[in-house]
Each structure stands twice: as structure tokens, then as C-alpha cells.
Amino acid sequence: MPTPPVPKGHLTPQQAADVVGEASALVSDFVQRTGRGRRALTSLVLRSLKQAYYDNRNLGHAGLASPNYCHFTSPIRRYPDLICHRALLSLVAGEPAPEASWVASAGPWTSAREREAMTIERDAADIARCFLLERTLADSGRDAVLEGEVVGLIGAGAFIAFGPEEMFEGMLPVRRLRGDWWELNEAGTMLVGTRSGSALRLGDPVQVQVGRIEAPRGRVDLLPAFDPAPEED
């Protein structure tokens, strides 16, 4: 799948938003044509962006292409929202606004808490899915061959989403791919067999079997039930 041209040098927020928008359109077109790759390629686009954080300065919003932005999503009631609410209510009531130094220190603190909460949420979801997978395999059989799709790649192996609506995810270690030495390409988009030239790419459909489930750790190890495809020129 081709990637959009990126201007050289430092990108303005508008240029960054334009590149992301064009990349998202290319991903959408590829998914419609092939029926695969939505999860993996969308995640790739999102990871290319700088992670958002809370700041006391008005830095705008790249995603909205707006030079002015205030975190004030009242239905969610996150702590940064409450800081904005309290400051506005203090001003309306004729009271002093929160000290600027306190607001400045609250940004990094709330950003770190958000990262921690996201990690806990992901870990809890992984553990719950592992217990559900154990129950599912008790009915279908541990040796069942499952349809999946490559949704992530690292040097040690591939992350595979599998099962009904790809609700489960596991790790397929490269050591399980016998007969070759596998290396991750520079872009991190495919594992390439150095001897055979075979490749395992983001979005590739694969068939796997469940090797081991460690529910308390939220971990699933997979076994291959497929032969990797030859690398395309």
C-alpha cells in the first residue's frame, strides 16, 4: 500500500493533519479492496502521531486543526475537565483563579495518571479475554485451527487477532516458524525470512492454533497452521 508524501522539515499542525487524513483515506481504500488490514494499519497511523498530553498552555489541537482548544468534555468528568470547570466557576463567582504554577504542575501529573489507567484497562481486558478463550476452547477443542490476521509485529514475532470478530489476540513467536531466520524490516511492517524470502506482513490473513494460555498474565502463545507467503517485489 503506498504512503502519502510528507513535506520535509518541521510539519505544521495543519500539514500533519493533512498527512494523517490522506494516510487514513489510503488505509480505508485498501481495507475496502482487500477486506483486511483495518486494525493493523489504523494502529500504524495512530502510532505515528505524538501522544496527546495535558498542558497549561494553549497549544491548539492538531486533530481538530484548531489553534485554540480547551479540555472541557464535561460528560466524562476527568480530572483535567474538573480543573477547567473549577477555574471558570471561580471566575464567574468573582473568586481568584487557581494558581498558574499549580495548573502547570497538574498537566504532567494528570497525563501520567491517564497512561497508567490505560495500561491497567488493557491488562484487565487481556486477562478477561484469556479466561473467555479457555472457556471457548473447552467447547471447540484445543487443537482447533483458527482464522486470524496479523495486527502487530516485533522482532520476536507477530501479534495475531483471531476468533469470532477477531476478539482474541495472541503472540506467534518467530521460533515457531521453523526452517528460516526471520528479521523485522526497517519500517516494522513485515517479518522476512532471510533464506526463503517468505514474508509475514501486517494485515496478512493467517491460520493459527492456541499453544498456551496464561490467563493471570493475559498472555496467549500461538502455533502456526500456515506457510508464510513469498515476499513481493
Q: Is 89 exposed, middle or buried (0-12, 13-18, 19+ CB in 10 A)?
A: exposed
- Each residue's pLDDT tens digit, 78-133: 888 888 888 889 989 999 888 888 888 988 998 899 899 989 999 999 999 999 99
- Each residue's pLDDT tens digit, 161-204: 998 888 999 999 999 988 889 999 988 888 998 888 888 988 89
Q: How far apart are CA 27 and CA 33, in angstroms?
A: 10
Non-local CB neighbours of 143 within 8 Å, separated by 6+ positions: 209
How far apart, in Å, are the Cα atoms of 18 and each of 3, 30, 212?
Answer: 13, 18, 43
Residue 143: is its pLDDT beyond 90? no
- Nearest of 178, 232, 175, 179 to residue 203 by alpha carbon: 232
pLDDT greater at residue 58 or residue 14: 58
Mean pLDDT of 66-75: 72
What is the model's pLDDT at position 123?
A: 95
- Nearest of 149, 231, 156 to residue 197 by alpha carbon: 231
What is the model's pLDDT at position 150?
A: 93
Q: Give me 174's grid cell.
A: 518467530
Helix (H, G, I), strand (E, B) or coil at 209: strand
- Each residue's pLDDT tens digit, 19-37: 777 777 877 887 788 777 7
What is the model's pLDDT at position 180?
A: 86
The DSSP call for residue 151 is E
**Residue 79: Cβ within 10 Å count:** 12
- Burial code (b: 16+ CB inside 10 Å, e: under 16) for 192-208 equals bbeeeebbbbbbbebeb
Alpha helix ranges (H) inside the chain = 13-34, 38-47, 79-92, 100-140
Strand pairing of 205-214 and 146-154?
Answer: antiparallel
Residue 208: is its pLDDT beyond 60? yes
